[in-house]
Amino acid sequence: MPTNRDEELDETVAFWTERVTIKDLEVELTVASTSLGLCYLGLGPSIEEEQTLRAWMLRWLPQCSLIRKREQNSDAICQLQEYFTEKRKAFTIPLHQIGTPFQRQVWEELLRIPYGETRSYGEIATKVKNLKGQRAVGMANHRNPIGVMVPCHRVIGKNGHLTGYAGGLDIKQRLLELEGAILPLISKTAKKKKSEKEKTEDPSLFMGVEHIGIKALDLEKSLQFYIKALGFEFLYRIKPGDVELAFLELGGTVVELVEVAKGREYEDGVVNHLAIRVTDIFKAIEHLKTQQVELTDSQPMALGEGRYNFFFRGPSGEKLELFQA
């Protein structure tokens, strides 16, 4: 329930809507403030946000009236525009957070997540010592009325999934990209190697391979295969449009699994052959047999030396090669 102070607040709430751009995505920003500070921030269509704001006020600020006025929100809009253009990493305007004691406890933890970092729902649940766990935290996260400034977008699933976001996953993805919270996850090993190389060599135009695309007719099946059978580390998955992508890493190389099941329209954009270095090729073969992976061929290595390369098929028919390091 609202605090008595919020229930008895009798004043005008000023709100304003402006169009803003987050990276390449244009959205409508709706903000609202009381005399105590910013109380509402949404990134959905302005008509829907105004309806949501009015319903929220009936619940939490029943004595207040709503007017359209920019002046009271000008500082918030200015700081947000600086944030969206990567000129600001922290906000300094006062917030008027209104919710249940548990919700406000969760929101306080959100404010502690640094710019450019993420936390899982489980980590937040541990912080607030909540026995109800991740589901309760997820609900409190979803009901956060001050998006972006109270950074619920920085909370993701334990397995790296972006999960839900009131403004939509497209916005959540771009906010995390804007802060650099997604791209650094792609390859920590590759980033370290790149840094070491830059110290010793002059920079070249072509710096290296960012990732390799592999088709996935069944994304869930492919994920399980690459993680469990081949030991890839899961990084994250996104759905920027009609196609879903999942990123994994092994030994500094990032593989992008590209969903191609729907009409196979994305198949032209992926490769169909991946060579994997192994320390002991015969142990690797025995391991794959326990995973019910069928070897399809073996060929002498191009350099001879009496060694062979072994080939097998992945879950989407991709050609996978075992290469003795």
Catalytic positions, written as ranges:
152
Query: Which among 185, 190, 140 is positioned nearest to 162, based on CA atoms?
Result: 185
The edge-to-edge listing of strands for the beta sheet with 37-42 is 37-42, 25-34, 12-22, 65-68
Name the 3-class secondary structure at 170. helix
What are the CA-CA distances from residue 44 to residues 18, 26, 81, 260 (Å)? 11, 11, 16, 30
- Phi, psi of 142, rounded to the nearest 5 degrees: -65, -30
Q: What is the DSSP string of 81-129?
A: HHHHTTS-SS--S-B---S-HHHHHHHHHHHTSPTT--EEHHHHHHHTT
**Concatenated DSSP letters of 251-263:** TTEEEEEEE-TTT
- Kindly state the DSSP code that residue 299 receives in the 8-state scheme: E
Note the Cα 85 to chain centre separation in Å. 19
Secondary structure (3-state) at 172: helix
Residue 21 bridge partners (DSSP): 26
- Distance of alpha carbon 17 from alpha carbon 213, whole angstroms: 40
